[in-house]
Structure 1
Amino acid sequence: MSTVIQANSRETGHHSNLTSLRKEGYVPGVVYGFQVESTPIAISARELEKTLREDGRNAVITLEVEDKNVQAVLNDIQKDNLKGDYLHIDFLAINMSDALEVAVPITVVGESTGVKEGGVLQQPNRELTLNVKPSDIPESIEVDISGLAIGDTITINDIRDQVEFEIVDDDELTLVIISAPVSAAELETDTEIEEPVADNGADE
């Protein structure tokens, strides 16, 4: 069952209207896509925050727009970098029978032997792009790092056959690296800064 959010139609063309909406606790947005003309809407910032917290970014949402229920997913969110307030949100109306591309977070599980030996776990990429039906979107994809030694890596190619969904990303995309530990001497070398030679202005 999808989350239900009340979406109110809103007027466009006036910046002051957007400011007023935000002050009243609403986030201006738009919904477009499957069997829906682009429609300006406003939703409760509190409801949006609750949905993101409880259901995640990839949740299928039922938008109640006037007298119509629209199945949609979050397509884009704009936030104020300083205040953290939501500025604008895009919803993509979807056909529940059709697959779509979504970014799903990676969850690392297991204990790496390399990490136990002092190695450093690195995750250059923390999401997978999947082609999946809306009703089947997983909360995350688990990647098992058990047995990885220092210097070992995991790429898309290593897990493609283990994931039940179609992965869109290239095989070469690296997900996990177990790097060698950095010694105190190496750290000191990396951070050492040469002191400039004083110029006393004397001629040779």
Structure 2
Amino acid sequence: MDIVLQATRRDKGARSSLTKLRNEGKLPAVIYGYNVDTIPVSIDYKDTAKAVQQYGRTAVFKIDVEGKQLNAILNEVQRCALKGTVKHVDFLSINMSEELEVEVPITPIGEAIGVKEGGVLTQPLRVLKIKVKPSDIPESIDVDISNLAMNDSISVGGIRSSVQYEILNQDEETVVTVTPPVVVNDDTAGQGDDENQDIKATEAPESES
């Protein structure tokens, strides 16, 4: 299904002009890459958010700039540090017949045996960089963790043969692992607190800037 986003050219302006666009429900963006010069544009915030939520960040969008349609993917998203709202996006124009390198999220599937026994599941690697044609970009890469026992892990090398894409990460990178729970010794917990208090008491106070 084609995901078409209507874009309007905009002039590169001061921060106030970008704020005005956002207040009008628009999202400042730029398009660059294959067969196009860098174009500053604005797009509808709600339409873009809805499309990304429905089809994922790895989807291929058609950006309609005044009647010219470009195939593009989201290349960068800038968010407001305080509110978490998206304030600017970069679209990379692509050639649909050529492979490209993209990052795709990893989704653990199932419940690990080690977790059922009280272990803790950690995921050091949350995205995989793959090389794939745009039409074949997956929304995510599922990794079955059901058979992971305590102290077991799954590395990139362990899933390389189970996907249809060229993975660019190193084989030794850990994707997920199950570790034993941390046991806190109540007898020593208080001693540690006292030691920390002693250290704080002997530290010189910081000067105010």
Length-normalised TM-score, structure 1: 0.90
Deviation at 1:84?
2.5
CA RMSD of aligned residues (A): 2.2
Question: Which residue does the alignment assign to 1:150?
Answer: 150
Measure how far apart 1:196 and its partner are: 2.1
Deviations 1:139-197 (CA, angstroms, capped at 9, x unpaired): 11111112221111111011111111110111111111110122242896499322429
In structure 2, the residue matched to 1:162 is 162
| Counterpart for residue 62 of structure 1 | 62
Structure 1 CA distance, aligned partners of 2:28 and 2:156? Answer: 37
After TM superposition, the runs of 4+ consecutive aligned structure 1 residues lying more than 4 A away are 186-191
CA shift digits 1:69-118 (9 cap, x unpaired): 11100111111121223221111000011111111111111332211211
Rounded Cα–Cα distance in structure 1 between residues aligned with 2:180 and 2:141: 26
**Residue correspondence of structure 1 range 101-140 to structure 2 within 5 A:** 101-140=101-140
Change (3 A) 1:130 1:190: farther
CA contact (8 A) 1:77 1:86 kept: yes
Q: Distance in 1 between matches of 2:103 and 2:130?
A: 6
**C-alpha separation in 2, matches of 1:128 and 1:25:** 33
- Judge which range, 14-23 or 4-13, deviates more: 14-23
Amino acid in structure 2 at the alignment position of 1:68: K
Q: Secondary structure at the match of 1:98?
A: coil
Letter in 2 for 1:79: R
Partner of 1:40: 40
For 1:196, the equivalent position in structure 2 comes to 198
Letter in 2 for 1:125: L
Cα distance in 2 for partners of 1:23, 1:196 equals 52
Q: TM-score, normalised by structure 2?
A: 0.88
- Deviations 1:28-76 (CA, angstroms, capped at 9, x unpaired): 1110111111111000111111112111111100011012011100111
**Equivalent pair of 1:99/1:134 in contact (CA under 8 Å):** yes
| Distance verdict in 2 for CA 1:186–1:104, change over 3 Å | farther
Change (3 A) 1:16 1:113: closer
**Alignment partners' CA distance in 1, 2:186 and 2:110:** 29
CA distance in 1, matches of 2:188, 2:148: 28
Residue ranges of structure 2 left out of the alignment (5+ in a row)? 203-209
Question: What is the aligned partner in structure 2 of residue 74 from structure 1?
Answer: 74
Alignment CA distance shift 1:81-1:187 (3 Å): farther
Question: In 1, distance between residues paired with 2:190 and 2:152?
Answer: 24
Distance in 1 (CA, whole Å) between partners of 2:177 and 2:4 is: 40
Does the 8 A contact of 1:11 with 1:17 survive in 2? no
Q: Secondary structure at the match of 1:49?
A: helix
Distance 1:98 1:161 in 2: 22
Check if 1:92 corresponds to 2:92. Answer: yes
Number of equivalences: 199
